């Protein structure tokens, strides 16, 4: 059983060059990276807006948090004032888009790589 927040995945390790390393990544770090790179605030993510950009950012945060095992969708739902079903639906949509759209997959892997890089700096 892997520890929460410690992440190792051979595919992503190969893509990001982090083989044979364990890196601690937190939900806060993921949120910070997504917010900074999209020029939005966490307050906007938790707001009632259904803006496409905000919705996509929430989905990416959920997908990354789920893959890295740093948080549950339930906890993220509470943090962003969203229902778990809504977050689950957007995670599935993100996964589908990643399978169909290479640029989407590359974008999300860049977010992941940035999270790993920042985790190493701490």
Q: How much is the mean pLDDT over the chain? A: 83
Query: Which sequence spans correspond to the domains of the chain?
Result: 6-121
Q: What is the pLDDT of residues 35-72, one digit of tens each?
A: 998 999 999 999 998 899 999 999 999 999 988 888 99
Q: What is the pLDDT of residues 73-92, one digit of tens each?
A: 999 999 999 999 999 999 99
Q: Residue 98 pLDDT > 60, yes or no?
A: yes
CATH class of 6-121: mainly alpha
Q: Residue 1's pLDDT band (boundaries 50, 70, 90)?
A: very low
Under a CB-based contact definition with an 8 Å cutoff, are residues 91 and 84 in contact? no
Residue 64: closest CA among 14, 99, 103, 107:
107
What's this model's pTM, rounded to 2 decimal places? 0.77
Residue 96, CB half-sphere, CA atoms under 13 Å: how many? 7
Q: Residue 104 pLDDT > 70, yes or no?
A: yes
């Amino acid at each position: 059983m892997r520890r929460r927040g410690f992440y190792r995945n051979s595919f992503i390790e190969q893509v990001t060059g982090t083989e044979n390393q364990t890196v601690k990544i937190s939900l806060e770090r993921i949120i910070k990276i997504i917010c900074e790179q999209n020029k939005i605030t966490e307050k906007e993510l938790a707001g009632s807006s259904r803006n496409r950009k905000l919705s996509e950012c929430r989905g990416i945060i959920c997908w990354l948090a789920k893959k890295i095992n740093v948080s549950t969708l339930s906890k993220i739902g509470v943090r962003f004032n969203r229902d778990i079903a809504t977050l689950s639906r957007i995670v599935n949509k993100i996964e589908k888009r990643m399978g169909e759209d290479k640029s989407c997959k590359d974008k999300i892997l860049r977010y992941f790589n940035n999270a790993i890089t920042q985790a190493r700096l701490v």
